């Protein structure tokens, strides 16, 4: 997972130091990327990776940041870090819906 934090943040996920705060309906890690809205996709991937009795080959799990805004996490990814030859994108904008393989995207300006 890509953990990004503000330099002065009291949270440092890489060290396991997370200051949890409640912001109305959201639980967040102060000054870091933890607490984003992609929890269901992360939970689904972790479940598949750890499910007893589910047969699968080796898996790489990739988490990026800012996919709803600039896709800077994916844009900054070094492709040499990936070993898999199949990429399955789990994405959705609706609660209770999982979209598998929503590949592609384009940015436009009006």
Tens digit of each residue's pLDDT (9 = 90 or more) over 37-55 = 566 677 778 888 888 898 8
Locate 3 and state its tokens.
């953990």
Q: How many structural domains are present in the chain?
A: 1
Domain of 22, in residue numbers? 13-100
105: in domain: no
The reply to whether 7 falls in a domain is: no
Kindly report whether the global pTM for this prediction surpasses the value 0.85.
no
In a domain, 33, yes or no: yes
pLDDT tens digits for range 61-108: 887 777 666 777 778 888 888 888 877 777 666 667 766 665 556 555
CA-based radius of gyration for the chain:
16
Q: Who contacts 41 (Cβ-Cβ below 8 Å, separation ≥6)?
A: 90, 91, 92, 98
What residue has token string 């994916």? Answer: 74
Q: What sign has the CA pseudo-torsion 4, 6, 7, 13?
A: negative
User: Is residue 65 one of the residues assigned to a domain?
Assistant: yes
Residue 3 lies in a domain: no
Q: Does 6 reside within a domain?
A: no
**87 assigned to some structural domain:** yes
- For residue 36, is it within any domain? yes
């Amino acid at each position: 997972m890509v953990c990004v934090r503000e330099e002065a943040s009291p949270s440092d996920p890489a060290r396991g130091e997370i200051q949890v705060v409640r912001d109305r309906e959201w639980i967040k890690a102060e000054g870091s990327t933890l607490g984003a809205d992609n929890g269901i996709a992360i939970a689904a991937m972790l479940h598949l990776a750890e499910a007893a009795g589910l047969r699968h080959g080796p898996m790489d799990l990739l988490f990026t940041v800012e996919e709803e805004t600039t896709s800077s996490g994916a844009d900054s990814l070094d492709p040499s870090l990936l070993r898999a030859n199949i990429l399955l994108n789990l994405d959705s904008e609706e609660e209770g819906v999982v979209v598998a393989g929503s590949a592609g995207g384009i940015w436009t300006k009006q």
